[in-house]
Amino acid sequence: MVDNSTSDERYWYFRRPLQFLADVFILSLAFVVSYLPAVNVQVAGFYYETILTQLPFVVLVQMLALFAVGANSLIWRYVSIEDIKVFVKAALVSLMILLGFRFLLSYSNTAVWQVPVSVILIDSMMAFGGLLALRILRRFVYEINDKNATGVVRRKVRRKPALIVGAGRMGSSLVKEMSGRADAELEILGFVDDEARKVGGSVNRVKVLGTTERLPKLVKELKIEEVVLAIDQAQGKEIRRIMDICSSIPVKAQIVPSLNEIAHGRVRVSRIRDVEIEDLLGRDPVELNKDNLSEFLSGRVVLVTGAGGSIGSELVRQIMNFEPGRLILVERAEYLLFLIERELAADPAASQYVPLIADIGDEQRMRAIFAEYRPDVVFHAAAHKHVPLMEANAVEAVKNNIFATRMLGTLSGEFGVKEFVLISTDKAVNPTSVMGASKRIAEIVIQELDRKYPTKYAAVRFGNVLGSAGSVVPIFREQIRKGGPVSVTHPDMTRYFMTIPEAAQLVMQAGALGDGGEIYILDMGEPVRILDLAEDMIRLSGLTPHDDIEIEFTGIRKGEKLFEELEITGEDLMRTLHPKIFIGKIATYSNSQVSEMIDEFAKAVEANDAKRIRDTFNHFLPEASIAVEPAPTAAMSDAAAPPSAVGAKLGFADK
């Protein structure tokens, strides 16, 4: 591939004189040979003086063409099939230049420009073909030497016989990477692939032995110890099917990293890992409109609240990819801010960032931050999010989720913020909990602010995020680690799930799309049964549900729904330019109505009256059904166990 290197890296080529001279020699030899009558039948004789006259000019043009397309910066021992494109491009560039001189200066009597067309064509093919062959030879010699040098080590490492499921791009890349590594722990004996036309063929000299139906037989015949899933953009149901086959054999199954992980440079294809619950849910990678996001974020001052939480920290990582002018990290939990700040400090590509300890409910502190840094974009991810905890702490839910949001939105308007994006939740739809109702009021508040200020305000509503602090997945993992039981509230309870990177990417994309006042609803796919999730996680741990690990049902708690919704009755969903983002056309509240409800909540908070808060939710939200009495605090999550993450303990984390 072309090395998109800096100009300094391009001059790397000239710091290796032997390689430079080798290229000059190949180009010179090809030009001389192209004048031989035995090679070029259109040349009547060997014109010694003409060759010497034209040779420096032709070689100079070809060297400049190599430099122009970046072929000179390719490291020889890592040359690949993809690099053929680079040399073809260089050949075409030099061909066009030489033909241009030949025809445009045909009136000139100077021999240096008069290179015959047949010589130009033959020379271009031989010269650049020779350069590519020279690099392939160098790679071949390098790999032979590397294998010889590490032969002793390789004999000591027992390589496990393995099969790869998926003879596509991912599988091909995996074989290619592992074949060049002396420390590879797997010996790839073949592929299996469900495309019948591939069976019998080979990929990188590794044969496709059959379809996945033959897995049990192949594992037995070849004494396979490991099966590696390398399916391009695999769906969760496909991964689940293959995992079921491997479990029945039984044989250990692993998977290559997702395209999303590879695309963001976190891992290489060869970094094989265990199958995780995120793989079984199998959501497609998000396709971002990078031009739109670059215009939205590049060079701008971006402020993220809850920057140490699950969504907030991922927003920070994703925003950094678009080179903001400055990124302001606002977080109340010192340890969480320390973790994300340390991560950014270790990344040399990270833009300017400022980690700030701050409580979003502290107006004086937040006003000072807005005055000093003047953000252009605000992502508001900080919130009290835990449903059972907020049932027992209704006053704090209102203070943080409603009043702090309103104050931040007002500051954004006063200080000329261009876009303000609120992270909302599916629990705001027909809310039955204090947390969900407080987020619904927060949506109403930002719609009112959108009418008041030039700032573009928007909310993004989505469901549960896999692996977020205090969520069901890490709690299930902890319960499985302790030997069970795994606690599920109800056998039929379902929830929508998405991965943390996907949620952060879609939040950014939604923020870039808005005109102001929208409530965006993300495509969450199909709902997942919590019982199925628990059983899958137990199986992925190498154990058997209901046998090795018990599952107990604890009952639905107050404030919880059996299933969540992403749209309310009467909502008219509109499509946007992004296929996974919709706009919910939700009835808005007048400014007087918003003022009335805010006044009522303020009185309830001042009186520390949780019952009055619940009554106020039910009064102003016709779709809400909030229990008047608070829920008991013994059960604290979907898994009926306390969250272990620091952010969840503090109760100040993102959705």
Distances (CA, A) of 211 to 73, 167, 192, 205: 41, 10, 5, 18
The enclosing domain of 502 has a CATH number of 3.40.50.720
Q: Where are the beta strands (DSSP E) in 306-352?
A: 326-331
More confident residue, 26 or 527: 26
**Does the pLDDT value for residue 31 go beyond 50?**
yes
pTM of the model: 0.60
Residue 84 structural domain = 7-149
The whole-number pLDDT of residue 41 equals: 60
Domain boundary among 103, 124, 149: 149
Distances (CA, A) of 458 to 288, 345, 370, 399: 19, 31, 19, 20
Would you call 563 helix, strand, or coil by DSSP? coil
Residues 419 and 328 in one domain: yes
Residues 177 and 231 in one domain: yes
The whole-number pLDDT of residue 304 equals: 95
How many domains is the chain built from?
Answer: 3
End-to-end alpha-carbon separation of the chain, Å? 40
Strand partners, 378: 303, 420
Domain boundary among 149, 183, 211: 149
Q: Where are the beta strands (DSSP E) in 151-281?
A: 160-165, 186-192, 202-203, 206-210, 226-229, 252-255, 273-274
The whole-number pLDDT of residue 449 equals: 94
CB-based contacts of 264, cutoff 8 Å, min separation 6: 321, 501
Mean pLDDT over each residue of the chain, to the nearest integer: 77
Report the C-alpha gap between 153 and 218 in whole angstroms: 29
Best-predicted range by mean pLDDT among 73-87, 440-454, 535-549, 568-582? Answer: 440-454
Is 596 a domain residue?
A: no
**Does the pLDDT value for residue 367 go beyond 70?**
yes
**Does the pLDDT value for residue 6 go beyond 50?**
no
Mean of the pLDDT values across residues 254-271? 52
Would you call 166 helix, strand, or coil by DSSP? coil
Residues 168 and 115 in one domain: no
CB-based contacts of 571, cutoff 8 Å, min separation 6: 584, 585, 586
Is 2 a domain residue?
A: no
**Does the pLDDT value for residue 380 go beyond 90?**
yes
Mean of the pLDDT values across residues 437-455? 92
Distances (CA, A) of 400 to 303, 383, 390, 601: 18, 6, 11, 12
Residues 407 and 483 in one domain: yes
CB-based contacts of 153, cutoff 8 Å, min separation 6: 182, 183
Residues 109 and 203 in one domain: no
The whole-number pLDDT of residue 1 equals: 35
Mean of the pLDDT values across residues 270-299? 67
Residues 96 and 171 in one domain: no
Residue 171, classified by CB atoms within 10 Å of its CB into exposed (0-12), middle (13-18) or buried (19+), is buried
Residues 462 and 385 in one domain: yes
**Does the pLDDT value for residue 8 go beyond 90?**
no
What's the pLDDT tens digit per position in 469-525?
Answer: 556 777 887 888 888 788 888 888 877 677 777 778 778 887 777 777 788 887 766
Share of the chain above pLDDT 70, in %: 73
CB of 356 closer than 8 Å to CB of 365: no
Which of 216-225, 310-319, 391-400, 622-631 is the least confident region? 622-631
Report the C-alpha gap between 487 and 14 in whole angstroms: 65
Best-predicted range by mean pLDDT among 97-111, 365-379, 636-650? Answer: 365-379
Is 603 a domain residue?
A: no
Best-predicted range by mean pLDDT among 105-109, 369-373, 536-540? Answer: 369-373
The whole-number pLDDT of residue 267 equals: 40
More confident residue, 216 or 270: 216
Domain boundary among 115, 149, 183: 149
CB of 282 closer than 8 Å to CB of 234: yes
What's the pLDDT tens digit per position in 200-238?
Answer: 887 777 888 888 888 888 888 888 888 888 876 666 677
Residues 402 and 549 in one domain: yes
**Given the DSSP bridges, would you call strands 202-203 and 206-210 parallel, antiparallel or unpaired?**
antiparallel
Residues 315 and 263 in one domain: no
Residue 323, classified by CB atoms within 10 Å of its CB into exposed (0-12), middle (13-18) or buried (19+), is middle
Residues 44 and 89 in one domain: yes
The whole-number pLDDT of residue 404 equals: 95
**Does the pLDDT value for residue 368 go beyond 90?**
yes
Is 207 a domain residue?
A: yes
Report the C-alpha gap between 33 and 28 in whole angstroms: 9
Is 261 a domain residue?
A: yes
**Does the pLDDT value for residue 268 go beyond 60?**
no
More confident residue, 513 or 559: 513
How many beta carbons lie within 10 A of that of residue 530, not counting itself? 22
Is 22 a domain residue?
A: yes
Residues 123 and 89 in one domain: yes
Read off the tokens for 563.
Answer: 């299933």
Residue 579, classified by CB atoms within 10 Å of its CB into exposed (0-12), middle (13-18) or buried (19+), is exposed
Q: Where are the beta strands (DSSP E) in 476-564?
A: 486-488, 494-495, 497-498, 518-522, 528-529, 551-553
Strand partners, 519: 459
The whole-number pLDDT of residue 394 equals: 92
Is 601 a domain residue?
A: no
How many beta carbons lie within 10 A of that of residue 297, not counting itself? 24
Distances (CA, A) of 174 to 104, 188, 268: 50, 10, 9
Which of 19-28, 86-95, 256-265, 484-493 is the least confident region? 256-265
Is 655 a domain residue?
A: no
The whole-number pLDDT of residue 117 equals: 81
Residues 16 and 89 in one domain: yes
